[in-house]
Amino acid sequence: MLKPLPATLSSFSVGSRVGIHHDHLSKQCYLTRSFQGDHFPKTFEGSLHFCSKDQIFFQIRRLNIRCANKQQHIFPKCKAGNSDNSLQQKKDISKATLIWRAIKLPIYSVALVPLTVGGAVAYSQTGLFSTRRYIMLLASSVLIITWINLSNDVYDFDTGADKNKKESVVNLVGSRSGPLIAAYLLLALGFMGLTWASVDAGNMHSLLLLACAIICGYVYQCPPFRLSYQGLGEPLCFAAFGPFATTAFYLLLGSTSEMIFLPLTRVVLSASLLVGLTTTLILFCSHFHQVEEDLAVGKMSPLVKMGTEKGSLVVKGAVLTLYSLLFALGLCRALPLTCIVLCTLTLPIGKLVVSFVEENHKDKGKIFMAKYYCVRLHALFGAAMTAGLVSARMLAK
pLDDT tens per residue across span 215-267: 999 999 999 999 999 999 999 999 999 999 999 999 999 887 666 677 889 99
Rounded Cα gap, residues 18 and 369, in angstroms:
68
Rounded Cα gap, residues 51 and 31, in angstroms:
22
Backbone phi and psi for residue 128, each to the nearest 5 degrees, phi listed first: -110, 150
Rounded Cα gap, residues 120 and 112, in angstroms:
12
Backbone phi and psi for residue 197, each to the nearest 5 degrees, phi listed first: -65, -35
Distances (CA, A) of 320 to 11, 94, 145, 303: 94, 36, 28, 19
Rounded Cα gap, residues 123 and 371, in angstroms:
31
pLDDT above 70 covers a percentage of the chain that reads: 75
Q: Report the 10 Å Cβ neighbour count for 362.
A: 12
Residue partners of 16: CB distance under 8 A and separation at least 6: none
Q: What per-residue confidence (pLDDT) applies to 257?
A: 61
The pLDDT tens digits of the residues spanning 330-350 come to: 999 999 999 999 999 999 999
Tell me the helices (H) and strands (E) count for the chain, helix number first.
17, 0
Q: What per-residue confidence (pLDDT) applies to 99?
A: 78
Distances (CA, A) of 250 to 213, 326, 331, 390: 14, 19, 23, 13
Residue type, 6: P
Residue partners of 41: CB distance under 8 A and separation at least 6: 28, 31, 32
Rounded Cα gap, residues 141 and 151, in angstroms:
15
Q: Report the 10 Å Cβ neighbour count for 397.
A: 5
Specify the range with the lowest mean pLDDT, choosing from 219-223, 243-247, 270-274, 393-397: 393-397
Higher confidence at residue 266 or residue 160?
Answer: 266
| pLDDT exceeds 90 at position 273 | yes
The pLDDT tens digits of the residues spanning 85-123 come to: 444 444 444 777 877 777 888 889 999 999 999 999 999
Q: What per-residue confidence (pLDDT) applies to 178?
A: 93
Rounded Cα gap, residues 388 and 341, in angstroms:
8
DSSP for 278-343?
HHHHHHHHTTGGGHHHHHHTT---HHHHH-HHHHHHHHHHHHHHHHHHHHHHHHTTSS-HHHHHHH
Number of alpha carbons in the 13 Å side-chain half-sphere of residue 31: 11
H/E stretch holding 55 reads helix 54-103
DSSP 366: T
Q: At what angle do helices 177-201 and 245-254 cross, to 10 degrees?
A: 40
Q: How confident is the model at residue 185 (pLDDT cuts 50, 70, 90)?
A: very high
Backbone phi and psi for residue 41, each to the nearest 5 degrees, phi listed first: -65, 165
Rounded Cα gap, residues 179 and 148, in angstroms:
11
Q: What per-residue confidence (pLDDT) applies to 167?
A: 77
Higher confidence at residue 386 or residue 204?
Answer: 386
Rounded Cα gap, residues 106 and 271, in angstroms:
21
- Give 3-state DSSP helix, strand, coil % of the chain, rounded to 5: 80, 0, 20
H/E stretch holding 247 reads helix 245-254
